[in-house]
C-alpha cells in the first residue's frame, strides 16, 4: 500500500509541474495566481500522501500549514486586485 501511495504522490507532483507552464506564460495575473494555487494544492496532496505512506506525522503538519498559507495568499491577491488605482494627474484632496 505504501508503494502505491508513493507512486501516486509522484504522479500528482508530475501533473502539477505542468502548471509551471501557466505561471510562466499566463496572459493575466489571475491565471498565474490560479496556477500557483494549483501548485500549492498539488504540493499539499503529495505531502499528505507521503505522510500517510511513511506514517510520519510531521509531514502532515507541514501540509496543513501550507494549506493555511495558501488560503491567506489567495485572500491577499484578491484584496490587492480589488484596490482601485489612484489617478496621478488628479489633485489630491487635503482634508
1-44 pLDDT, tens per residue?
889 999 999 999 888 888 787 778 778 888 888 888 888 899 89
pLDDT for the residue numbered 64:
92
d(C-alpha 22, C-alpha 18), whole Å: 8
Band (95; pLDDT cuts 50, 70, 90)? low
CB 70 within 8 A of CB 44: yes
**According to the model, what pLDDT value does residue 23 have?**
79
Sequence-distant (≥ 6) Cβ neighbours of residue 49 within 8 angstroms? 5, 6, 8, 9, 12
The span from the CA of 52 to the CA of 34, in Å, is: 27
The verdict on residue 33 lying in a domain is yes
Tell me whether residue 87 is in a domain: no
**Domain-embedded: residue 90:** no
Domain membership flag for residue 85: no
Q: Which of 9 and 91 is assigned the larger pLDDT?
A: 9
Cα-based angle 9, 11, 12 (whole degrees, multiple of 5): 65
d(CA 15, CA 42): 8
pTM, two decimals, is: 0.72
For residue 30, is it within any domain? yes
28 domain-assigned: yes
Number of domains the chain contains? 1
Span 40-87, pLDDT tens digits? 899 899 999 999 999 999 999 999 999 999 889 888 888 888 877 665
Residue 11 lies in a domain: yes
| Domain with 51 in it | 2-79
Amino acid at each position: 500500500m505504501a508503494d502505491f501511495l508513493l507512486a501516486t504522490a509522484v504522479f500528482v507532483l508530475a501533473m502539477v509541474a505542468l502548471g509551471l507552464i501557466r505561471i510562466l506564460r499566463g496572459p493575466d495575473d489571475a491565471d498565474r495566481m490560479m496556477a500557483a494555487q494549483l501548485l500549492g494544492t498539488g504540493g499539499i496532496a503529495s505531502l499528505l500522501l507521503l505522510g500517510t505512506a511513511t506514517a510520519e506525522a510531521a509531514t502532515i503538519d507541514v501540509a496543513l500549514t501550507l494549506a493555511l498559507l495558501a488560503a491567506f495568499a489567495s485572500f491577499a491577491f484578491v484584496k490587492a486586485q480589488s484596490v482601485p488605482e489612484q489617478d496621478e494627474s488628479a489633485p489630491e484632496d487635503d482634508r
